Amino acid sequence: MADKTKTVVVLPGDDAAPEAMGATMDALRALKLPIDYVEFPPGEKWVRGETDAAARKAIDGSDTTLFGSTSGKTTAITYLRWGKQTFANVRPVRYSKGFNSPLAKPDGIDFVIVRENLEDLYLGLEGPLEALAPLKLMSKILRAPLDTSERGIYAIKVITERATRRVAEFACQLTMKRKRAGGKGKLTCTSKYNMLRESDGLFRKVVEETAAKYPEIKYEQFIVDDFARRLVQSPHDLDVVVAPNLYGDILSDAAAGIIGGLGLAPSGCYGADYAYFESVHGTAPDIMGMGIINPSATMLSAALMLDYLGFAAEASRLDAAVRKAYADGRALTPDQGGTAKTSEFTRAVIANL
């Protein structure tokens, strides 16, 4: 157990997300850990500028942040990612008995997608196509100048060696950690390196070079469309997957689907000296106030958070309590084929603690 009181900022998010966060906080408080929670209001109650500034200050003074989901009202998410340089988005995909998987044989699925979290197309470098005219760009595929006379929009994809190397190193270290715990010890890299030979090719090259420093790791690489097929066809073969930002985002949502949906998908975003934790799903405005949102993803994200803070035993307890609720099957929310309210599922998890 951690040797001193920790400080956790709690940002409940928007729409129905605060209901999942409330359920998670009930479970966390039931563990009675030496944690001070600095709680902020839902995004709908944020005061423009003022609340965001207070959140940034609180984040800087905290050990970590537990974040709900936002539709844009909780603006501190940008600071958590780029301000704190949380470059590795870790998305575990692990099936448990009772999960509403569409696969016939999902037992044994247990892998992690590590997504580079700060660059690629997510830098938002877009604009009118005509703005590129002065650059006189040549298409290496068409072997012809880029036609900027058409009305359209460009988007710039950025892959740097530095960002790729640090996420590759993170993925290798995670692969080694999982191997020591009995895992496969295998790292899979995926990108579109056959077409985007310079950008995605650089990502593949750097990951390959980094993995070569770890002879204990089995390394493989697949073009992203082929990997998408393998993700569905043979997910049991995977251990740790590393991908650029956009592919990692898309593939991790697809991966959640094979075990039962986004309501079961936790994540953690790790930097050199800070991390925050959030569910992968959106804010679910269509069920806001109905009391039926599935809090599992937020609870499992909280378990990742506890492990990061040094509360390993309690992290395992919370993770196991959530999974036991599914194995029992008596208090599942509608997205998992049940009829239970969020509060009923939460009581089952707390009872399992």
pLDDT per position as a tens digit, 246-277: 999 999 999 999 999 999 999 999 999 999 99
Examine the domain organization and report whether 107 and 204 are in the same domain. yes
The confidence score (pLDDT) of residue 141 equals 83
The confidence score (pLDDT) of residue 260 equals 97
The confidence score (pLDDT) of residue 48 equals 85
Examine the domain organization and report whether 179 and 151 are in the same domain. no
Q: For the residues 314-333, what does the mean pLDDT come to?
A: 98
Q: Cβ-count burial of 201 within 10 angstroms (0-12 exposed, 13-18 middle, 19+ buried)? A: middle
Q: For the residues 114-124, what does the mean pLDDT come to?
A: 97
Name beta bridge partners: 8.
Answer: 37, 64
Examine the domain organization and report whether 84 and 233 are in the same domain. no
Examine the domain organization and report whether 168 and 251 are in the same domain. yes
Q: Name the residue range of residue 142's domain.
A: 121-156
SS (H, E, C) the chain: CCCCCEEEEEEEECCCHHHHHHHHHHHHHHCCCCEEEEECCCHHHCCCCHHHHHHHHHHHCCCEEEEEECCCCCCCHHHHHHHCCCCEEEEEEECCCCCCCCCCCCCCCEEEEEEECCCEHHHCCEEEHHHHHHHCCEECCCCEECCCCCCCEEECCECCHHHHHHHHHHHHHHHHHHHHCCCCCEEEEEECCCCCCCHHHHHHHHHHHHHCCCCCCEEEEEEHHHHHHHHHHCHHHCCEEEECHHHHHHHHHHHHHHHCCHHHCEEEEECCCCEEEEECCCCCHHHCCCCCCCCHHHHHHHHHHHHHHCCHHHHHHHHHHHHHHHHHCCCCCHHHCCCCCHHHHHHHHHHHC
Q: In which band, very low, low, confident or very high, does the pLDDT at 142 lie, cut at 50, 70 and 90? A: confident
Whole-number percent of the chain with pLDDT over 90 = 94
Examine the domain organization and report whether 237 and 138 are in the same domain. no
Name beta bridge partners: 111.
Answer: 93
The confidence score (pLDDT) of residue 197 equals 94
Which of 208, 232, 259 marks a domain boundary? 259
Which of 259, 279, 301 marks a domain boundary? 259
Examine the domain organization and report whether 152 and 168 are in the same domain. no
The confidence score (pLDDT) of residue 346 equals 98
311 near 297, Cβ under 8 Å?
Answer: no
Which of 259, 294, 311 marks a domain boundary? 259
What's the CATH code of the domain at 168? Answer: 3.40.50.2300
The confidence score (pLDDT) of residue 91 equals 98
> Which has the minimum average pLDDT: 39-53, 206-220, 230-244?
39-53
The confidence score (pLDDT) of residue 54 equals 96
Examine the domain organization and report whether 283 and 296 are in the same domain. yes
Total tally of structural domains belonging to the chain = 3
- Give the pLDDT confidence of 48-101 residue by residue, as tens digits: 889 999 999 999 999 999 999 999 889 899 999 999 999 999 999 999 999 999
Examine the domain organization and report whether 169 and 253 are in the same domain. yes
The confidence score (pLDDT) of residue 186 equals 98
Tell me which residue of 201, 250, 196, 235 sits closest to 221, measured CA to CA: 201
Examine the domain organization and report whether 235 and 301 are in the same domain. no
Tell me whether residue 299 is in a domain. yes
Examine the domain organization and report whether 247 and 332 are in the same domain. no
Examine the domain organization and report whether 219 and 278 are in the same domain. no
**What's the rounded Cα separation, in Å, for the pair 162 and 338?**
46
The confidence score (pLDDT) of residue 35 equals 98
119 near 160, Cβ under 8 Å?
Answer: yes
With 90 as the cut, is the pLDDT of residue 312 above it? Answer: yes
**What's the rounded Cα separation, in Å, for the pair 123 and 125?**
6
Tell me whether residue 116 is in a domain. no
Q: In which band, very low, low, confident or very high, does the pLDDT at 347 lie, cut at 50, 70 and 90? A: very high
Mean per-residue pLDDT over the chain, rounded: 96
Q: In which band, very low, low, confident or very high, does the pLDDT at 1 lie, cut at 50, 70 and 90? A: low
Q: For the residues 171-176, what does the mean pLDDT come to?
A: 98
Tell me whether residue 145 is in a domain. yes
Nearby residues of 232 by Cβ (< 8 Å), 6 or more positions away: 254, 258
**What's the rounded Cα separation, in Å, for the pair 281 and 211?**
31
Whole-number percent of the chain with pLDDT over 70 = 99
The confidence score (pLDDT) of residue 3 equals 73
**What's the rounded Cα separation, in Å, for the pair 99 and 332?**
9
Q: In which band, very low, low, confident or very high, does the pLDDT at 181 lie, cut at 50, 70 and 90? A: very high
With 80 as the cut, is the pLDDT of residue 326 above it? Answer: yes
- Give the pLDDT confidence of 274-306 residue by residue, as tens digits: 999 999 998 999 999 999 999 999 999 999 999
With 90 as the cut, is the pLDDT of residue 179 above it? Answer: yes
Examine the domain organization and report whether 166 and 241 are in the same domain. yes
